[in-house]
């Protein structure tokens, strides 16, 4: 009798997690297109984004 039991909540959680990962990948792609960098290390990429840049001389 218990051989045919299906756990819907675990399947639902797996699907939700998969969708979150897909959305995160899309967001990473959009972010990379908006601010391309040559840096490969993700931590250094973030640091470079938030560093204050020197003002341009006029």
pLDDT, one tens digit per residue, over 11-56 is: 999 999 999 999 999 988 887 787 666 777 777 777 777 776 777 7
Q: Per-residue pLDDT for 6 more than 90? A: no
The CA distance from 50 to 15, in Å, is 34
Residues ≥6 apart with Cβ < 8 Å to 8? none
Please state, as a whole number, how many other Cβ atoms lie within 10 Å of the Cβ of residue 14.
10
Q: Where are the alpha helices (DSSP H) in the chain?
A: 8-34, 42-50
Backbone dihedral angles phi then psi of residue 52, each to the nearest 5 degrees? -75, 130
Do 10 and 2 touch, CB atoms closer than 8 A? no
The answer to pTM > 0.75 is no
pLDDT of residue 2: 57
């Amino acid at each position: 009798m218990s051989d045919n039991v299906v756990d819907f909540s675990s399947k639902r959680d797996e699907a939700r997690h998969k969708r979150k990962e897909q959305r995160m990948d899309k967001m990473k792609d959009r972010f990379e297109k908006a601010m391309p960098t040559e840096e490969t290390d993700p931590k250094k990429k973030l640091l470079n984004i938030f560093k204050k840049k020197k003002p341009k001389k006029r």
